[in-house]
């Protein structure tokens, strides 16, 4: 069945102000900014953050006349903290329930890091009948883990180390992680302590269980079939100095699996380039959306 005509497999969630209640009772917080008659741009955030990570892009595009929407993934930010469902199929189903409840049409879906995996699984699992374009930024597909078919992936020990850091002292771990995330550990980097504090605050708002389980979701999920099903214009953006999702196993490999996808890379840019280099990223996002 063509993905554009594939029916949605989950019902719309129930809206109540800035919250959506999913079919399993999870409450998802979401922002809905800009003119309601504008073309929707839907953002999916990275681990272990929240929709706040997208504010620079949301304000910019809303001022250009677009309707911008971003939710806190289950267990993250201001959403409720269920014990289960912290894997890509459920993330995609949550997103499908939100887009259905808001009755979004011709939406541009933008995903960063883990959010790029969420967008990828959403398109692969629910089709593109509501989707006009997709943007994957520093995204985890096609898979982060080293496997037989992906020998350049990261070894499992890397992710076991992340699990240990989150389990043992996540507050200290997230403070340290912010340095590599934004490239602030590079010689000559101009460090923003405010941005580091924002990263830490967003990270500590999530549930320990959700953040721990999500490590498996973002590192071990195989997105090859999802990427192969894409049938909308797709832009892949990736920083060449990404220390979190290395570009060779991320953007450069993803673009070979999506028919007609375009890749734009940025020398010296970090995983957190949507914040550190927001003016550049915003300009390229707008050009693709309008193109």
Which domain CATH number covers 88? 3.40.50.1820
In 3D space, the residue among 43, 88, 84, 222 whose CA is nearest the CA of residue 143 turns out to be 222
| pLDDT per residue as tens digits for the range 118-148 | 999 999 999 999 999 999 999 999 999 999 9
- Mark whether 242 is an active-site residue: yes
Give domain status of residue 1, yes or no: no
* Helix residue ranges per DSSP H, the chain: 55-63, 88-101, 114-126, 156-181, 193-205, 208-220, 224-228, 251-254, 273-276, 278-290
- Mark whether 271 is an active-site residue: yes
Going residue by residue through the chain, which has 291 residues, state the pLDDT in tens, using 9 for 90 and above.
344 444 446 778 899 999 999 999 999 999 999 999 999 999 999 999 999 999 999 999 999 999 999 999 999 999 999 999 999 999 999 999 999 999 999 999 999 999 999 999 999 999 999 999 999 999 999 999 999 999 989 999 999 999 999 999 999 999 999 999 999 999 999 999 999 999 999 999 999 999 999 999 999 999 999 999 999 999 999 999 999 999 999 999 999 999 999 999 999 999 999 999 999 999 999 999 999
Which one of the listed residues 51, 79, 113, 178 is annotated catalytic?
113
Give domain status of residue 67, yes or no: yes
- Mark whether 113 is an active-site residue: yes
Give domain status of residue 8, yes or no: no
Q: Are 115 and 94 in contact (CB under 8 A)?
A: no
Give domain status of residue 2, yes or no: no
**Domain containing 137: what range?**
14-290
> CA-CA distances (angstroms) from residue 83 to 14, 103, 215, 259?
20, 28, 15, 37
Give domain status of residue 5, yes or no: no
Give domain status of residue 128, yes or no: yes
In 3D space, the residue among 160, 169, 181, 149 whose CA is nearest the CA of residue 271 turns out to be 181
Provide the CA 192 distance to its chain's centre, in angstroms.
22
What is the pLDDT, as a whole number, of residue 9?
60
Which one of the listed residues 45, 76, 86, 271 is annotated catalytic?
271
> Could you tell me which residues come within 8 angstroms of residue 203 by beta carbon, excluding any fewer than 6 positions away?
48, 49, 170, 174, 211
Give domain status of residue 76, yes or no: yes
Q: Are 141 and 250 in contact (CB under 8 A)?
A: yes
Whether the predicted model's global pTM rises above the 0.85 cut: yes
Which one of the listed residues 72, 93, 226, 242 is annotated catalytic?
242
Give domain status of residue 7, yes or no: no
**What total number of domains does the chain contain?**
1
């Amino acid at each position: 069945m063509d993905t554009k005509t594939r029916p949605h497999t989950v019902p719309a969630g129930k809206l109540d102000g800035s919250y959506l209640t999913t079919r399993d009772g999870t409450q998802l917080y979401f922002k809905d900014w800009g003119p309601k008659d504008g073309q929707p741009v839907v953002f999916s955030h990275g681990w272990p953050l929240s929709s706040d990570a997208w504010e620079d892009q949301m304000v910019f595009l809303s001022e250009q006349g677009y309707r911008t929407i971003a939710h806190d993934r289950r267990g993250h930010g201001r959403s409720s903290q269920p014990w289960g469902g912290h894997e890509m199929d459920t993330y995609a189903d949550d997103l499908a329930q939100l887009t259905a409840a808001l009755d979004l049409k011709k939406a541009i879906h933008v995903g960063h890091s883990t959010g790029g995996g969420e967008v990828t699984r959403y398109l692969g699992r629910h089709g593109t009948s509501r989707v006009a374009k997709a943007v994957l930024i520093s995204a985890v597909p096609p898979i982060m883990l080293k496997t037989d078919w992906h020998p350049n992936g990261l070894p499992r020990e890397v992710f076991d180390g992340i699990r240990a850091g989150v389990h043992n002292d996540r507050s200290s771990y997230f403070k340290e992680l912010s340095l590599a995330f934004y490239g602030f550990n590079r010689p000559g980097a101009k460090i923003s302590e405010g941005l580091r504090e924002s990263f830490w605050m967003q990270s500590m708002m999530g549930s320990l269980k959700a953040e721990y389980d999500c490590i498996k979701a973002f590192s071990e999920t195989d997105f090859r079939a999802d990427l192969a099903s894409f049938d909308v214009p797709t832009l892949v953006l990736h920083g060449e100095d990404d220390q979190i999702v290395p570009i060779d196993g991320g953007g450069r490999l993803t673009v070979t699996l999506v028919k007609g996808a375009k890749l734009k890379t940025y020398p010296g840019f970090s995983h957190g380039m949507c914040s550190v280099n927001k003016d550049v990223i915003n300009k390229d996002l707008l050009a693709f959306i309008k193109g």
